[in-house]
């Protein structure tokens, strides 16, 4: 039970890029992050139903595209773009781990590193 709670609440890390985006009036990005956070929370809250799974994957892809837009608009300012890529690679590493035994741990870290990727993509844009 504890493992499932950690997985659900790891979505709260998306509040950080959400707050940053709202604070700097990047509302289009804030809407995407908020949508991803809510859908992901819903997916894990209701026992990972197949219907929400596809919605979760779709909006995760939209968020990844939005992150690339931020990096391009921020002209890949270093070191923040480097950190964004590093966090993205780490997120993907935890996402592809398919062990049932460590699923909750790995997927929680997927959420945390994905949110970190969002933060560094935002900082890249804001630093330009």
Domain count, the chain: 1
**pLDDT 10s digits, 13-60:** 999 999 999 999 999 999 999 999 999 888 877 777 777 888 989 999
What confidence score (pLDDT) does residue 69 get? 97
CB 103 within 8 A of CB 6: no
What confidence score (pLDDT) does residue 82 get? 97
Full residue range of the structural domain in which residue 70 is found: 2-127
**pLDDT 10s digits, 99-122:** 767 777 888 899 999 999 999 999
What confidence score (pLDDT) does residue 127 get? 95
Gyration radius from the chain CA atoms:
14
């Amino acid at each position: 039970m504890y493992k499932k709670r950690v997985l659900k609440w790891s979505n709260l890390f998306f509040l950080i890029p959400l707050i940053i985006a709202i604070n700097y009036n990047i509302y289009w990005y804030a809407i995407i992050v908020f949508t991803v956070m809510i859908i992901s929370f819903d997916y894990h809250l209701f026992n990972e139903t197949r219907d929400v799974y596809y919605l979760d994957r779709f909006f995760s892809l939209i968020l990844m595209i939005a992150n690339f837009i931020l990096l391009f608009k921020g002209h890949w300012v270093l070191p923040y773009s480097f950190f964004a890529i590093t966090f993205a690679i780490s997120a993907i590493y935890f996402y592809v781990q398919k062990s049932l035994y460590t699923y909750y741990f790995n997927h929680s870290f997927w959420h945390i590193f994905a949110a970190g990727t969002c933060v560094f993509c935002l900082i890249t844009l804001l630093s330009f």
